A = this chain, B = another copy of it.
Amino acid sequence: MVELRADAQRNLERVLDAATEVFAASGPDASVDEIAKRAGVGHATVFRRFPTKDDLMFAVIERRVEEMRAIAAEALAAEDPGPAFFDFVHRVAELSMSAPGLHKCVAHCGEKPGAAELEALGAKIVARAQRAGALRKDVKPSQVAPFIRDALTAAPEGEWRRYLEVVLDGLRA
């Protein structure tokens, strides 16, 4: 990726945006044609940047992970660890629950780009909030993320926000 002509760059972004929307809505079975159409390009253009559909899916996920990493960094930089933790969880939950199709995509391409780092950042945020006395200290920081994830995936359609509040209340000091 040495340089990219202006039109190519623009189309690349359009394709990624469209792919995110479509995969988020329809999961990994969405067709490349539909994505190309929504992006306003021919589907050959999609395949020029992403040799296979899986590569495209991978790129979409990577981008989403990057967003989450940014939110995590923000939370780590915030001055008040307690509220920072709760805000972080809410934002990440909102982001990931707004795109149920992407969960299936992640499952589809077993690779989880950057998942480990994200997990580690989450643990740091938890530990910081615990030290600040905002969270109970008898749970391991690394266990909080899976715990919340489980609660979200188990939540019945449209009820995940309530579930999340219950879980968060349970974690408060």
Task: Answer whether residue A153 sits at the interface, using C-beta atoms and an 8 A cutoff.
Answer: yes
We find that the number of chain A residues with CB closer than 8 angstroms to chain B is 7
Within 8 A of B (CB), among A119-173: 146, 150-151, 153-156
User: CA A150 – CA B150 in complex, angstroms?
Assistant: 9
Q: Is the interface of A mostly helix, strand, loop or mixed?
A: helix
Residues of B within 8 A of A155 (CB): 150
Whether B156 lies near A154 (C-beta < 8 A) is: no
**Minimum C-beta distance from A99 to chain B (A):** 17
Q: Which residue of B lies closest to A150 (CB)?
A: B154
Residues of B within 8 A of A150 (CB): 154-156
User: CA A156 – CA B151 in complex, angstroms?
Assistant: 12
Chain A residues proximal to chain B, CB less than 8 Å: 146, 150-151, 153-156
4 closest A-B pairs by beta carbon, nearest first, are A154-B154, A150-B154, A153-B154, A153-B153
